[in-house]
C-alpha cells in the first residue's frame, strides 16, 4: 500500500483503573477546575459542582483530559477523543482485569455497556 492508500488516523485505546484514596482532595480539584472554566454557563456550573460532590467518577471526568496525553507528541493532532469514568468493583486478581486481554470482547469500539460518565473533546462535560 502506498502512503496515499493508508489511513492517517490511529485509534489508541487506554483503560485505567484508579484508586481514589482521598475523595475530598479529588472533589476539591474538580471544583477548582469547574470554577476556572470561564466558558461554562452558570446553570451548567451549578449542576457540575453538585455532581462532583456526590460522585468520584464524575469528579474524575472533569479532571481527566485526553488532550493532555498527546499534546506534546510530535507530528500528531488529536482528531477526536471520548472517555468514560465509572465506579466499579475491582479485584486485581480476577481474570477479567488482566492487562493482556483482547478488547474485542467489549464491543466494536472497546466500550462496555452500562452507566458511565462520558466526555468528548469539543463537547461540554457530562
- The number of domains in the chain is 1
Residue 32 lies in a domain: yes
Cα 120 to its chain centre, rounded Å, is 8
In a domain, 31, yes or no: yes
59 within 8 A of 29, measured Cβ to Cβ: yes
SS3 assignment, position 85: strand
In a domain, 17, yes or no: yes
Which of 82, 68, 78, 85 lies closest to 119, judged by CA? 82
Distance CA 3, CA 5 (A): 5
How is residue 111 annotated by DSSP?
P
Model confidence over 32-77: pLDDT tens digits?
999 999 999 999 999 999 999 999 999 999 999 888 889 999 999 9
The answer to whether position 91 is within a domain reads yes
Quote the pLDDT of residue 2. 55
Distance CA 78, CA 121 (A): 9
Over residues 78-89, mean pLDDT: 90
Which pTM was predicted?
A: 0.65
pLDDT at 43: 94
What is the average pLDDT score of the chain? 80
Which pLDDT score is estimated for 90?
87
Residue 101 has pLDDT above 60, yes or no: no
Cell numbers for 69: 496525553
Which domain does 31 fall in, by range? Answer: 3-120
Is 64 within the bounds of a domain? yes
Average pLDDT over residues 1-11: 73
Mean pLDDT of 98-109: 53
Q: Looking at the domain assignment, is residue 47 inside a domain?
A: yes
In a domain, 125, yes or no: no
* 126 in a structural domain: no
| Joined grid coordinates for residue 38 | 470561564
Amino acid at each position: 500500500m502506498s502512503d496515499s492508500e493508508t489511513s492517517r488516523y490511529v485509534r489508541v485505546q487506554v483503560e485505567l483503573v484508579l484508586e481514589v484514596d482521598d475523595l475530598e482532595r479529588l472533589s476539591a480539584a474538580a471544583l477548582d477546575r469547574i470554577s476556572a472554566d470561564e466558558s461554562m454557563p452558570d446553570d451548567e456550573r451549578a449542576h457540575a459542582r453538585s455532581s462532583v460532590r456526590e460522585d468520584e467518577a464524575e469528579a474524575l471526568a472533569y479532571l481527566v483530559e485526553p488532550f493532555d496525553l498527546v499534546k506534546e507528541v510530535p507530528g500528531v493532532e488529536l482528531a477526536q477523543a471520548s472517555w468514560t469514568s465509572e465506579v466499579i468493583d475491582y479485584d486485581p486478581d480476577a481474570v477479567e482485569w488482566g492487562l493482556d486481554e483482547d478488547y474485542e470482547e467489549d464491543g466494536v469500539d472497546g466500550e462496555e455497556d452500562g452507566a458511565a460518565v462520558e466526555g468528548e473533546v469539543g463537547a461540554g462535560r457530562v
